[in-house]
Structures are given as structure tokens and as C-alpha cells.
């Protein structure tokens, strides 16, 4: 399908990459904060739509995983959106706990300074070394 | 560098993919809305940091492009963040005009319905067929 068709259609026709994956952003629907970005294959997107729990394809472990399956910190989907050329997914979620395995509410806990260094700007919700 | 080192360091060490690119999300700092996702190479990220205008690498045209260079609808960067394993960039921006070339404020103008169809949920700021 042409990009222009993808932009104007009501038919879902995700443009998966050559590994069959599409980037999927998670946004906290209450705070507006971007919590994480993962990758979905067609099945992960289908399961997310059906279960309303944000589900991804873990590229390193090569398996489906539902965010929160081991911690209970699920991301409950309120709505799913796709972008113009259907190569990015956005899931707006009710966050049931800190999203990042490093112990922060969001994975984006560092800011790039003008000199090109990273500055930690978020408070940690838990210490992963103590928790696991 | 190990992922765990990437998570705890103050050194910028982006994990680019095998094409030398990293996904870069643009968020409207005033509304919290996700406006678009593009791809950056090292140079696009450097230019974004220096000029404070969101700049990407266009994969189809294989060149750098600054969002708004042809329309004046720049995305003025307020802050740049990186995620835990440094494989995603988030730019929070002051949006100087509709971000999506299809005429909407955001590229995410369609919602995925429970039956798997797409529903248009955003108002159009302009008609691209008339504008260009």
C-alpha cells in the first residue's frame, strides 16, 4: 500500500520493518509523560488490543512479553493510536506502577545537557538491586 | 558498553541500530501530545542539540532534514531525554505549527477501535492538497 493510502484509510495496515516489528510508545494518560518505547510484532499488537495490557515482542529474548507480567506493574491501555504512515504505534495507558525496570516511573529519566552529558532528573521509585 | 552501564552513566552513548539510526519521539511540551516519531543518526542528534530545532535523518531521501524547513513549522526543542538503555530519544518541543504533513497537529490522528479499524479523531489544521 502506498504511504498516501496508509495516511487516509480507516484500514489498519501497519508498516512493519524487515524484522516484522513496529515501534510502540507508551504514554501515561494521567500525566502525559512518555514512559517507554518497545517493539511489537503483529501478535503483540493484537494481544494488546484484546487484553488492554501493553504487550511487546522482546527482541533479545525473542518472545512476547506483557509489561508488568513479573512485577504487576501493568500498563492498562486506554487507547491505541497509529501515525500517518502507520509505522509507529502509540498506546496511552493507565500506569499501575513504575514503568522502568531501572526503578523510575519513566525510562526517560535523564536529560541531555547542552554540553552533551546526561543529567539524572527523575526520582527513583525503587532500587532494582534491592527489589530483585 | 553493557546495557546496565548505559542505564547508570552520565555519558551519552546512544545504541544506534545497524543502520546507524535511533528512533526520536517529538512531544509537544505545552499539551503533552505526541506529535511524531522520526529517526536520527549521530549528526541529526548533534544538530538538534546545537540548533534546538528537531532534526532527523530521512531514510527514504537519505539526507538530514529539519522539521519545518519547508513550512516554517519548526519544532523548537526545550529538552532532550534518552531512555534507560539509550536506544530511544525524546525531544520535548515548542511546536510552531501543525507537525504532520497530512495536515494535523499530530501524526497520531487515528485511533484503533476494538474491532481493529482506524477512526479519525483529530481536527485537520490544513488540507495538504490545497496548501502544496
Contact B34 A90 (CB under 8 A): yes
Domain boundaries in chain A? 3-9+16-124
Contact B120 A10 (CB under 8 A): yes
Structure confidence at residue A2 as a pLDDT band (50, 70, 90): low
Over residues B17-57, the pLDDT tens digits come to 999 999 999 999 999 999 999 999 999 999 999 999 999 99
Q: How many CB atoms lie within 10 A of CB A9?
A: 14
Residue A129 has pLDDT above 90, yes or no: no
First to last CA, chain A: 46
**Nearest-by-Cβ selection for A37 from B88, B104, B121:** B88
Averaged over A89-95, what is the pLDDT?
A: 98
Q: Which of B1, B5, B7, B50 best probes binding to A when mutated, by most A CB atoms within 10 angstroms?
A: B7
**Nearest-by-Cβ selection for B37 from A33, A88, A118:** A88
Give B39's strand partners.
Answer: B23
Residue B106 has pLDDT above 70, yes or no: yes
Cell readout for B37 is 516519531
Q: Tell me if A43 sits within 8 A of A51, measured CB to CB.
A: no
Higher local confidence (pLDDT), B128 or A22 = A22
Nearest CA in chain B to A87: B37
Structure confidence at residue B1 as a pLDDT band (50, 70, 90): low
Q: Which residues of chain B have a CB within 8 Å of the CB of A3?
A: none
Query: Which option is the CATH number for B3-99: 3.10.20.810, 3.90.950.20, 3.10.150.10, 3.40.50.1100?
Result: 3.10.20.810
Q: Which of A37, A48, A93, A109 best probes binding to B when mutated, by most B CB atoms within 10 angstroms?
A: A37
Q: Which of A1, A3, A25, A85 best probes binding to B when mutated, by most B CB atoms within 10 angstroms?
A: A25
Distance CA(B19)–CA(A18), nearest Å, equals 12
If 0-12 CB within 10 Å is exposed, 13-18 middle and 19+ buried, where does residue A36 land? Answer: buried
Nearest CA in chain B to A109: B83
CATH number for region A3-9+16-124: 3.10.20.810
Give this prediction's pTM.
0.95
Q: Tell me if A128 sits within 8 A of A98, measured CB to CB.
A: no
Residue with C-alpha cell 496548501?
B131
Q: How far is B68 from chain A (nearest CA, A)?
A: 17
Over residues B73-84, the pLDDT tens digits come to 999 999 999 999
Residue A131 has pLDDT above 60, yes or no: no
Backbone angles phi, psi at A14, to 5 degrees: -60, 135
pLDDT-above-70 percentage for chain B: 96
- For chain A, which residues lie within 8 Å of any Cβ of chain B, measuring from their own Cβ? 7-12, 23, 25, 27, 31-34, 36-37, 49, 79-84, 88, 90, 100-102, 104, 107-112, 114, 116-121
ipTM: 0.95
Contact A49 B11 (CB under 8 A): no
Over residues A43-74, the pLDDT tens digits come to 999 999 999 999 999 999 999 999 999 999 99
Least confident of A21-25, A127-131, B6-10, B55-59: A127-131
Pick the closest to residue B69 from B44, B88, B90 (CA basis).
B44
Give B63's strand partners.
Answer: B58
Amino acid at each position: 500500500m502506498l504511504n498516501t493510502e496508509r495516511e487516509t484509510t480507516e484500514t489498519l495496515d501497519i508498516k512493519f520493518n524487515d524484522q516484522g516489528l513496529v515501534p510502540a510508545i507508551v504514554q501515561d494518560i494521567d500525566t502525559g509523560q512518555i514512559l517507554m518505547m518497545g517493539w511489537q510484532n503483529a501478535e503483540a499488537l493484537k494481544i494488546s488490543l484484546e487484553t488492554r495490557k501493553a504487550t511487546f515482542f522482546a527482541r533479545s529474548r525473542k518472545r512476547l512479553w506483557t509489561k508488568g507480567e513479573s512485577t504487576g506493574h501493568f500498563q492498562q491501555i486506554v487507547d491505541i493510536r497509529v501515525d500517518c504512515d502507520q509505522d509507529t504505534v502509540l498506546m496511552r495507558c493507565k500506569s499501575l506502577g513504575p514503568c522502568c525496570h531501572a526503578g523510575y516511573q519513566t525510562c526517560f529519566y535523564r536529560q541531555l545537557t547542552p554540553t552533551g552529558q546526561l543529567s539524572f532528573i527523575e526520582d527513583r521509585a525503587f532500587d532494582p538491586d534491592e527489589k530483585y
